[in-house]
């Protein structure tokens, strides 16, 4: 699984995104489209901002909820995708093509547990 940490990456809808030149927005969209169309990729979804999240914990048999994640914004996951990679090098190459990795974010590669 490739988890996309957006960090300071400008994403729509936001003022930072609106300030990007149209050519750069188009290139970012094309880069994400190309990643999604890579053989072996199962596209995921972009997630809404962390302030829209609800975190659930169960303590002493009671379900507790809090608004937002219990993480710094730079640690929050902004999206994800699955990739059937031949090896780690292939996953790293794909992760390097994800725009967030070059625009202030990061991509975490994590193997799925097979049961």
Structural domain spans, the chain: 2-109
- In this prediction, residue 72 carries a pLDDT of 59
Q: What is the DSSP pairing of strand 106-109 with strand 2-5?
A: antiparallel
Q: Specify the residue for token string 């070059």.
A: 102
pLDDT in tens, 47-79: 887 778 888 889 999 998 888 766 555 567 888
Which ranges in 2-68 belong to alpha helices (H)?
Answer: 15-19, 22-36
Instruction: Name the CATH superfamily, with its identifier, for domain 2-109.
Output: Dimeric alpha+beta barrel (3.30.70.1060)
pLDDT the model gives residue 36: 94
Q: Is the pTM of this model over 0.85?
A: no
Distance CA 54, CA 51 (A): 8
SS3 94: helix
The backbone region for 56, taken as left when phi is positive above 0, alpha when psi lies in -120 to 50, beta otherwise, is beta
Residue 84 or residue 50, greater confidence: 84
What confidence score (pLDDT) does residue 75 get? 65
Q: What is the pLDDT of residues 20-56, one digit of tens each?
A: 999 999 999 999 999 999 999 999 888 887 778 888 8
* Residue 71: partners with Cβ closer than 8 Å, 6 or more residues away: 50
């Amino acid at each position: 699984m490739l988890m996309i940490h957006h960090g300071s990456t400008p994403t729509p809808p936001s003022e930072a995104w609106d300030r990007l030149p149209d050519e750069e927005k188009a290139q970012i969209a094309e880069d994400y489209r190309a990643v999604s169309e890579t053989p072996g990729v199962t596209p995921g979804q972009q997630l809404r901002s962390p302030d829209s999240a609800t975190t659930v914990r169960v303590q002493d048999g009671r379900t507790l909820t809090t608004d937002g994640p219990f993480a710094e914004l730079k640690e929050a996951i902004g999206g994800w995708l699955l990739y059937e990679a031949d090896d780690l090098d292939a996953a790293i190459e794909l992760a390097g093509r994800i725009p967030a990795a070059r625009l202030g974010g990061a991509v975490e590669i994590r193997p799925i547990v097979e049961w």
